[in-house]
Amino acid sequence: MKKHRKAIIILLCLVLLVAIVVFLRIRPISYKDSVKVCNSNGVTRDVEFDIVLHPKLLGGATMSGTIRVDGQEYVSVSDIYRDAFEGSSYMFQIPADSALQANSNTVIVDLYKDGFKAYRLLILESGKLIDYYGPAQNVNEVEAIKKK
């Protein structure tokens, strides 16, 4: 009897431990902030984040919410199309009537290993994707982020 009771207690402890690990792994991470981002030429943009990262149990994640770049709002592709766009890059677009319009109004967010402490935004400007790094206010800060 004592062996069965001890085995049940050990099993319950293991189940509880696994449940805690799963909860911590899939817990959404909110990020709200207003920052400056900078490109390699020293051009800065004002960016406001109001986003939530939704990690998946077996890896990958989706990101929902909005990003404002110099006042222009971009919405997460996951919110627009309700699909599971997963990976370490997350796409935001100005909602549009057609896919052709949407493709010309895009911001892509790349997170570094330390999450929202350093990131790269690819902003479509005049038909070209321009890399901006943040938070950064000058080229020296950009170079420090690139080394991560």
25-62 per-position pLDDT tens digit: 678 888 899 999 999 999 999 999 999 888 777 767 77
Alpha-carbon torsion angle 24, 134, 52, 112, nearest 10: -40
Rounded distance, CA 4 to CA 22, Å? 27
Q: How far is CA 2 from CA 6, 10, 64, in A?
A: 6, 12, 51
pTM of the model: 0.72
Q: Report whether pLDDT(142) > 50.
A: yes
Residue type, 79: D
Token pair for 130: 């321009």
Q: Which residues pair with 132 in a beta bridge?
A: 121
Q: Report whether pLDDT(86) > 50.
A: no
Token pair for 64: 């929902």
pLDDT recorded at residue 90: 80
Would you say 95 and 106 are in contact if contact means Cβ atoms under 8 Å apart?
A: no
Rounded distance, CA 42 to CA 130, Å? 12
Sign of CA dihedral 137, 141, 146, 148: negative
